[in-house]
Homo-oligomer: A and B are copies of this chain.
Amino acid sequence: MKSNSVKRGRNFLHTPGPTNIPDRILNAMHRPAIDFSGPDFLELAIEIFRDIKPIFRTEGRVFIYTSSGHGAWEAALANVLSPGDKVLVPETGQFSASWTDMARTLSIEADYLTNDWRHGIDPDEVEQKLRDDKQHAIKAVLTVQTDTGTSITSDIPAVRRAIDAANHPALLMVDTIASLGTIDFRMDDWGVDVAVGASQKGLMLPPGLGFTATSEKALRAAEACTMPRNYWDWRNRQDDAHYRWFCGTAPEHLIFGLREAINMVMEEGFDRIFARHARLAGAVRKAVGVWAEAGAIDFNAAVEAERSNSVTTIRVADGYDGDAVRAACRDNFQIALGGGLGQLQGRAFRIGHMGDLNEPMILGCLAGVEAALQVCGIPHGRGGAQSAIDHLAATAASA
């Protein structure tokens, strides 16, 4: 691949996070640092803590961390769960697994409802587990709205209904990292207690900010929680003294970027954002559907309604190598895909299609992937990209 070693043109970033950062956001971050305890930053911070709420569709308080999404996971756990507490986690893939691992290292007991990684959360199973928990030992149900590893989107309102049907007081916690700003999420309407988010996916920012949105019930739980914590502690971050809102020096540049990101979300509006994601994801699914006809590749998500609008995990049959597709895309076509995670390592590749994306971007990606399938010699139905073209042409009027 020597002759390709000098790359020209833009890399097509189709990892499921980080995603493409709009120039507007990069420019908003291209500025000097400012006094983070001065009036200008104070005003900005007040705005941001107010304007991040509608992103989660909540009236509740949202905490902003200088952290990865994993940091926000820990913040969510450490504020409402004490060592020895128990949680229920319906498996959805790599990220339900990792969050569970994290909980366990924090001395939290996890009841993990295993699954085949091809289906979303079964609300009935959750309900049954909670009904069985007569003592209410389970303090929280941990869910992942879209598991980036399996590209499965679960039905969060159905989980809420399951908890309610069981009449169980467990907190409903939702990881929205891979879904926020790409599909509907309504914290308050859905009765979510803690939502976890991050900057580098639907919000189109560089990695570096984690979010926890909280219900009042969650904030009350935090008061009683005995987990040793300081950086993550919601209590400190509600202080009147604004320099404590970020626990130390505020991550100014990411906040400058977040200001612009929220502006962009508000300009476009959720309806259009979700429709755009659905339409572009539709193009991906058209292409994958055609490629799948030859039997060597397939959707990981078995149920059509559970296929994510932000990422698509594509399985390759035994005898083929998912990582080879990824490498061919990367080395020959400057397209960055995600690899298979966990039990899917080498057995899948993933196309991210969330954030700052439009028609020719996804078409370029799909056409390049189709070329890579040729290069790799993986049997596939011919005309996947063509099918995506047809889909986008047919739906152009409604866009």
Contact = CB atoms under 8 A, between A and B. Distances in A.
Contacts of A30: 23, 26-27, 29-30
Interface string A340-376: 0000000000000000111111111111101110110
B389 A385 contact: yes
A143 interface: no
Interface stretch (A116-124, A155-163, A226-234): A226-234
Copies in the complex: 4
Given A71-B247, A251-B68, A334 B359 contact: yes
Contact count band on A: 35 or more
Contacts of A39: 330
Contacts of A35: 13, 15, 330, 336, 338
Contacts of A105: 228-230, 233
A274 interface: no
A247 B107 CA distance: 18
Contacts of A333: 358-360, 392, 396
A61 to B, nearest CB: 19
Given A356-B8, A386-B385, A13 B33 contact: yes
A129 interface: no
25 contacts: A3-B398, A6-B272, A9-B20, A12-B360, A15-B37, A23-B30, A23-B32, A37-B338, A66-B66, A66-B71, A68-B231, A71-B231, A71-B247, A207-B251, A208-B251, A228-B228, A333-B359, A334-B360, A335-B360, A360-B368, A363-B364, A364-B365, A370-B389, A375-B397, A383-B386
Which 10 A-B residue pairings sit nearest by Cβ, starting from the closest?
A: A364-B364, A9-B358, A70-B248, A68-B248, A18-B33, A360-B364, A363-B367, A374-B393, A35-B336, A206-B253
